[in-house]
C-alpha cells in the first residue's frame, strides 16, 4: 500500500508540473464554480463490503461543500451487524498560484466529519487537512484527468454505552495522521475514478482503503 500512495504522490507532482488546476479539484470533487455532483462509490476495506453515495456543490466563490453516506457489512457473514456512516465536509480554495511550465496549482484547507452509531457504540472521525489538486486536458474537448491528494490530521472519538456490558462503557479519543487521494476521468458531465484513504501509516497494521467512484456533474 505504501507503493500505491507513493505512486499517487508522484502523479500529483507530475500534474502540478504539467497541467492546469480546476476549481475545487483540491477538495476531491471535479467541479467549477456553480457546479454540483452526485454519484456513487464502492470501497474495499478488508473483510467488509462497503458502498454508498455522495454529493457536492461548489458555491460561487472559494467554498465548496459535500455530503455522503456509507453502508458497511461483514463480507463473510450476512447476519452480522450492518453499519451506517454519514459524512459531511467543506473545502475552501485559496487563491491559485502558478507552478512550473505555466501550470496552476489548486490548494484547499478542508475538513470532513464522519458519524457512525450502532448498538450503543458511537464513532466520530474528523480529518482536517490541506488538499492539493490539478487537472490536465486529454485531447477531446471536455475530457480531463484530475488528481487530488489531502494529507490530514484525523481526530477520532469512540463512545461506548452498552446496557448488557456496563463495564465496557467509556469514551476514548485519539489523533493520528492520514492521507487520502484519488483521480478522476471527467467526460463533460460524467466522471469516474478511484480513491484511497490511509489513516496512521506509521502503524504497520493499518491498510489503505481503496475504492472506485462514478457520478455526474450538473
Residue boundaries of the structural domains of the chain: 2-217
Q: Return the pLDDT at 13.
A: 37
* pLDDT, position 205: 67
Tell me what pLDDT residue 1 has.
40
Selection from 115, 44, 63 nearest residue 84 by Cα:
115
Lowest-confidence region among 8-17, 31-40, 119-128? 8-17
- Give the SS3 label for residue 167: helix
78-122 tens-digit pLDDT: 667 789 999 999 999 887 665 554 345 789 999 999 999 887 789
Of 57 and 106, which is predicted with more confidence? 57
pLDDT score at 166? 65
CATH number for 2-217 (one of 3.40.50.410, 2.40.160.20, 2.40.110.10, 3.10.20.30): it is 2.40.160.20
Which of residues 129 and 102 earns the better pLDDT score? Answer: 129
Pairwise CA distance, residues 77 & 124, whole Å? 25
Amino acid at each position: 500500500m505504501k507503493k500505491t500512495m507513493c505512486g499517487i504522490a508522484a502523479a500529483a507532482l507530475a500534474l502540478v508540473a504539467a497541467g492546469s488546476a480546476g476549481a475545487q479539484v483540491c477538495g476531491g470533487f471535479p467541479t467549477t464554480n456553480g457546479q454540483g455532483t452526485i454519484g456513487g462509490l464502492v470501497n474495499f476495506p478488508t473483510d467488509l463490503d462497503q458502498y454508498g453515495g455522495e454529493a457536492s456543490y461548489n458555491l460561487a466563490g472559494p467554498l465548496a461543500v459535500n455530503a455522503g453516506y456509507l453502508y458497511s457489512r461483514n463480507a463473510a457473514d450476512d447476519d452480522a451487524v450492518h453499519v451506517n456512516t454519514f459524512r459531511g465536509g467543506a473545502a475552501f480554495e485559496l487563491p491559485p498560484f502558478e507552478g512550473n511550465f505555466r501550470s496552476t496549482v489548486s490548494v484547499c484547507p478542508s475538513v470532513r466529519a464522519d458519524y457512525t452509531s450502532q448498538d450503543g457504540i458511537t464513532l466520530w472521525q474528523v480529518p482536517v487537512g490541506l488538499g492539493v489538486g490539478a487537472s490536465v486536458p486529454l485531447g477531446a474537448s471536455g475530457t480531463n484527468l484530475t488528481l487530488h491528494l489531502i494529507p490530514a490530521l484525523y481526530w477520532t472519538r469512540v463512545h461506548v454505552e452498552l446496557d448488557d456490558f456496563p463495564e465496557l462503557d467509556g469514551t476514548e479519543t485519539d489523533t493520528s495522521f492520514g492521507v487520502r487521494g484519488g483521480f478522476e476521468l471527467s467526460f463533460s458531465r460524467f466522471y469516474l475514478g478511484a480513491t484511497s484513504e490511509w489513516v496512521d501509516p506509521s502503524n504497520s497494521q493499518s491498510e489503505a482503503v481503496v475504492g472506485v467512484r462514478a457520478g455526474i456533474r450538473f
